[in-house]
Amino acid sequence: MVTTADRTMAHLPDEDSGKYRVMTIGARVVLYLLALLFAAFAAIPFIWMIITSFKTDQDLYNPNHSPFEFTTPPTLHNYTLLFTSTHYLTFIANTLIVALLVVVITVAAVVPAAYSLTRLAGRWGENLGILIFLVYLVPPTLLFIPLTGVIADINLQNSWWSLVLVYPTFTIPFCTWLMMGFFKSVPWEIEEQAMIDGYTRLGAIWRTVIPISIPGILTIVIFSFTLTMHEFVYALAFVQSSSQKTVSVGVFTELIRGDVYFWQSLMAAAALVALPVALLYNFFLDRFIAGFTLGAVKG
């Protein structure tokens, strides 16, 4: 699994020794041009976000000023405004607390489940694993209405606790599938040896499998964290008070007041969260994709 993903990155043409890879200058120009074009298409809203966040009002709100230059010097005023006169810090704090609790619940449920499916259930476990993965594909937009009823029933409406409860419904399925991939790569003999040495089954798991699987556990920690940061639908449906909102929803609903848009602060708020999350996600993306390919590209 991991090897497939690693190879995706370390795809060096020389090793492939295919003749077609000896490119003409023309082909190289086309290659760079395409890369540039796609990168620009992908990144442009974020570039515009960052530029906007440093602009003054008189610079930004003049259609004759170039959007890509600073007619007046860049300012930090919009950031000060964001941190001092909005609920932004509350949104950030709520998001982090929710994410932390979701990570704990996810790891606690996923590690034993994935172990059970890979080690204790044989062929049957692999199929059940795929079924659990498919649960990840049940969209929030199908569940948010009945869940609104459930949340009201247990008196969690309008509280970020409702999100702590509901978010594991998508982190557990996806992370179980990822974790199964990790456990499969741990040699069975290690636990066997530990058990021969006199440890109980659980003792052997705790002393051998878990330490070896730390990179896998770290991956599911990062994923449940980023998936939580990404979530929008449930947060929008369940939470209405400013004091309880997470970043995605808070920025969208609170920094736009009717027809008044605080564009610079709004963009600052979006960029400050979006880019760090992207960086974090990027580190582990190859593992994520290995999970998504459903084993269809097993090295």
**Of 86-145, which residues contact another protein (CB under 8 A)?**
108-110, 112-113, 115-126, 130, 132, 134-135, 137-145
Q: Which listed range, 73-81, 85-93, 209-217, 232-240, lies at the site for another protein (CB under 8 A)?
A: 232-240
Residue 107 beta carbon to another protein: minimum distance, rounded to whole angstroms: 11
CB-based contacts of 79, cutoff 8 Å, min separation 6 = 53, 265, 268
Binder of another protein out of 25, 26, 68, 198 (CB under 8 A): 68
Secondary structure (DSSP) of 127-184: HHHHHHHHHTTS-HHHHHHHHHHHHHHTT-TTSTHHHHHHTHHHHHHHHHHHHHHHHH
Stretch binding another protein (CB under 8 A), from 3-11, 79-87, 96-104, 211-219: 3-11
Cβ proximity to another protein: between 77 and 105 the closer is: 105
* 298 near another protein (CB under 8 A): yes
Closest contact distance (angstroms) between CB of 76 and another protein is 19
**Residue 268 is a binding residue for another protein (CB under 8 A):** no
Which of 58, 80, 193, 292 is the binder for another protein (CB under 8 A)?
A: 292
Q: Which is nearer to another protein, 240 or 243 (CB)?
A: 240
Q: CB-wise, 62 or 243, nearer to another protein?
A: 62
Min CB(215)–another protein separation in Å: 19
**39 near another protein, rule: CB under 8 A:** yes
Output the smallest distance, CB 226 to another protein, in A.
8
Smallest gap, in angstroms, from Cβ of residue 138 to another protein? Answer: 6
Contacts with another protein, 142-171, as mask; x by CB under 8 A: xxxxxxxxx-xx-----------xx-xx--
Closest to another protein by CB, 31 or 214: 31
Q: Which of the stretches 12-20, 70-78, 83-91, 211-219 binds another protein when contact is defined by CB under 8 A?
A: 12-20
